[in-house]
Each structure stands twice: as C-alpha cells, then as structure tokens.
Structure 1
Amino acid sequence: MRDATPGPFEDLRSSVLRKSKTIDEYWDVSKSHEQPKFWPESADKNIKKLQAGIHGWITRDPLHIVKCSTFTIPANNMPEKRLLFSQRATLCGLHMLYFNIQMHFLGQSLVTHCYDVQMLAFHYCLVKQEPAYEDLNWPDMETFIKIHGKSHIFWLTSKE
C-alpha cells in the first residue's frame, strides 16, 4: 500500500456516503407517501440499522472520540483521526462489502415484497414526474427500464 493508505478509506467513505444519500432520499419519499401494505416494519428497522452503522462507523470516528475522552491530551498532540480505517485497507474493503450487501438485500426485499418489478418501475416513473422528486435516482431501476424498454413495461399506458 505504501503511500496509498488513505485510498481504501476514501473509497469506502465515498461509497457509503452515496448509500446514505439514497437512504435519505428514501426517507424523504416515505414521508410524502403512504406506506404500502406489503412493506413490513422490520424492513424500515433494517434501513435505520444500516444508516446507524454508516453514521457510527464511517461518518463519525468512534475510536477518536474514545481516545479524546479517555485521556487528557493537549490540543497539539491529538491522536490521528480515522486511525482504525486509514491504515487498514482490508478492514475498509470488508466494511464496503458489508454495506453493499446490506443495500442489495434491502433493495431485493423491496422488489420481492412488491412481487412485481414492472409495477415498481411504474411507481418509480410516476414518483419521478413529481417536481419535488425529479432528481430521484435509482440506477438499478433505470437499468431495468432501459433493458426491457418503456414501451414493453408500460404497454397499458402507451399511446397506440
């Protein structure tokens, strides 16, 4: 790793911040729409748990807080921030894998509870038509729509 030791943590941080933004957008959309009957409360608890993990481990630096509160350290000798992740590329990779798997699991839960990706695509496009959510971005759904084509997915609503 030599001089590139901060690289893995920066990759982890950018990846996790994107996930955090996606979760925040989910909460924003959830506030303005009624919760579907098919979506269990346990799924929202899992999303909150994932978000707490992101904030607890990546956004904040728990070891830095513990070090500063445990020892009386002069301001000029403060311990290095992100010591846990900045020097351990493998730990960064494992955390990135964990957060990626959790996000995919939550997305798959949403899709399997809907029972129909086509209906979910329809709702996604419907929500995106609202001015407040026109910047909403779900890359996997966009890919699904491109692969299958809008005319095939939305054949009931297309003009003939």
Structure 2
Amino acid sequence: MDKEKVYKLIKDYDIGMMTNVNESGKLVSHPMTRQGDIEDDVLWFFSERDSEKTTELKKNNSVNISFSGDDYISVSGTVEIVDDVETKKDLWSKANKTFFDGGPEDDQVILLKVNIDSVEYWTSNNILKNAFEFAKGMATDKDPDLGENDALEI
C-alpha cells in the first residue's frame, strides 16, 4: 500500500474520533477536527490546555483516530502537546472560533500533534453495492466484493 494513497483518503475527512485511555484505564473517544494537511506523517488537532483529554494524554499519549464515511480509516499514533503560537496561527481557521473564543494566541489553546505509527483502511464501493455484495455472499458460496482493505506501518 502506498502511504500517499492513504493520506489522500484521510484528506477527504475533516472530523475523526480520537480514542485515548482515560484516568480509569478505559478507552474514551472524542470528535476532533483535523487541521491542515498531512505532512511528515503528522495529523494536527486543536484542544484546550486544561481539558480532561489533555490531562489524560499527558499520562498516556497513545491514540487512535478513526475516520468514516464512504471509507473507513484507522490511524494509530502518539500525541505531542504543542504550544507554538506561529504553528497555531498557521493551522487556524475561522471555524475554530466556534470552539476557541480566544483565537490562536489564547494561552488555553494548544495543538495535539499526532505522530502516525500505522494506518489501516477499508475502501467501500458504495452502500448499495455493498448491501448487494453482502446479500450475494449470504445467498451463495462466493466471497462478496466489499472493497479494499490494507494496513501500513509508518
């Protein structure tokens, strides 16, 4: 599998579910908006410095981010907390003001830099074709064509 192909799939999705380990050792997920392009095997997200999520990530920085729609993408990696005003300004968009009133210069606004370790994806033909293929697989001994699945270690 080609890394650029996978990153192109991810670029179709702005919002993913970030899963991390909480204080009790349980998995928790948060909807997160991806910021900027994917460069140097990194995904960027804004967060709040004093949020529960940020506190949890300081103790265990392993995460999984899942993107879904027509395709399904699972990204595993580790988080670094970044508090660089210039990087925040570079990644800032007007949409972020909805969640962060103070803008990129606000001391409470930080970045979560996800260093990608691995990616797995499942491409989907479309929901109607998949339903047909699934039914065909149930009714016959033929394997259904439900798209492509592959994994990549970064």
Q: TM-score, normalised by structure 1?
A: 0.20
Q: Determine which structure has more spread, i.e. the larger CA radius of gyration.
A: 1
Q: Which has the higher helix share?
A: 1
Q: Per chain length, whose mean CA-contact separation is higher, i.e. which structure has more relative contact order (CA < 8 Å, sep 6+)?
A: 1
Q: Which has the higher strand share?
A: 2
